[in-house]
């Protein structure tokens, strides 16, 4: 068995055209996720969503990996946290919501190191009982977090000292790739195990973590779209240290 940790990464199932095939249901994930995981010294496998996913299925899958990334994507359906949808809400992806919420819960039960990216941070927060801010520009009056459709912007985030994130990146201000219009409602984190670890100057929560126990860290930005590999290296190292069966 390989000595490299195995990192599962969630993805979409999309209809894809690939000559000569048309509208083929396919597992879809930006390759940056895979490239960063491999650069960090692990093996990457994708975990396509299923609408019929449940805790038992998530448990079976996670028993075969050493770490988990819940990847970016569309909005979490607002009914998952008890709110009506905002006018800007994207089409619901119930298969991903169902699958990723089950994975987030089961990863805690099994002690699987977890990194959430953009939507992944929001999934982790919702699974823990938090709510989402459905349209950040309503509060900020700007589109800095999502400058144009299909285009990553860059903006600064302030990483708080004395956090796991600061031990990985260093405390201070960093420019990060960004593309989101929703965010975790920081006030609702008070009733969860997560703590805020990075902010935008406009008051948008940009990262969170569980300070105790297994690695559970999430960022609102898109490290897979940049060059900085440190978050992926931290996940892979946590997977090694956890000593789970897949890495043995």
Q: In what order do the strands lie in the sheet with 67-70?
A: 43-47, 6-10, 67-70, 114-117, 216-219, 205-209, 195-199, 153-159, 172-178
Catalytic residue among 133, 209, 224, 237: 224
User: Rg for the chain (alpha carbons), in Å?
Assistant: 17
Q: Is 222 annotated in the active site?
A: yes
Give the residue from 86, 83, 153 showing the smallest Cα distance to 118: 153
Q: 133, 82 in Cβ contact below 8 A?
A: no
Contact assessment for residue 103 and residue 47, using Cβ atoms and an 8 Å cutoff: yes
Annotation marks residue 224 as catalytic:
yes
Report residue 47: phi and psi, to 5°: -120, 85
Q: Of the listed 36, 118, 133, 181, which one is catalytic?
A: 118
- Marked catalytic residue, from 145, 181, 200, 222: 222
- Residues with Cβ within 8 Å of residue 213, at least 6 apart in sequence: 111
CA distance 85 to 217: 27
Cα–Cα dist 151/212, whole Å: 36
Which residues form the catalytic set?
118, 222, 224
């Amino acid at each position: 068995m390989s000595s490299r940790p195995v990192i599962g990464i969630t993805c979409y199932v999309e209809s894809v055209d690939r000559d000569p095939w048309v509208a083929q249901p396919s597992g879809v994930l930006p390759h940056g996720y895979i490239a960063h995981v491999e650069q960090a010294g692990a093996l990457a496998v994708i975990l396509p969503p299923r609408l019929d996913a449940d805790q038992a299925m998530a448990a079976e899958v996670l028993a075969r990996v050493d770490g988990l990334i819940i990847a970016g994507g569309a909005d979490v359906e607002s009914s998952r946290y008890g709110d009506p949808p905002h006018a800007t809400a994207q089409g619901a992806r119930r298969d991903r919501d169902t699958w990723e919420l089950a994975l987030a819960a089961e990863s805690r039960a099994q002690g699987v190191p977890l990194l959430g990216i953009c939507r992944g941070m929001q999934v982790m927060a919702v699974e823990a009982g938090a709510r989402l801010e459905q349209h950040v520009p309503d509060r900020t009056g700007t589109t800095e977090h999502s400058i144009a459709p299909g285009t990553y912007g860059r903006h600064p985030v302030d990483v708080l000292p004395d956090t796991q994130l600061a031990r990985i990146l260093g405390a201070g201000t960093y420019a990060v790739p960004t593309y989101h219009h929703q965010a975790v409602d920081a006030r609702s984190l008070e009733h969860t195990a997560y703590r805020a670890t990075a902010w935008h100057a406009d008051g948008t929560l940009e990262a969170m973590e569980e300070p105790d126990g297994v690695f559970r860290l999430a960022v609102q930005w898109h490290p897979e779209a940049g060059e900085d590999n440190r978050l992926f290296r931290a996940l892979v190292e946590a997977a090694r240290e956890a000593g789970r069966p897949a890495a043995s």
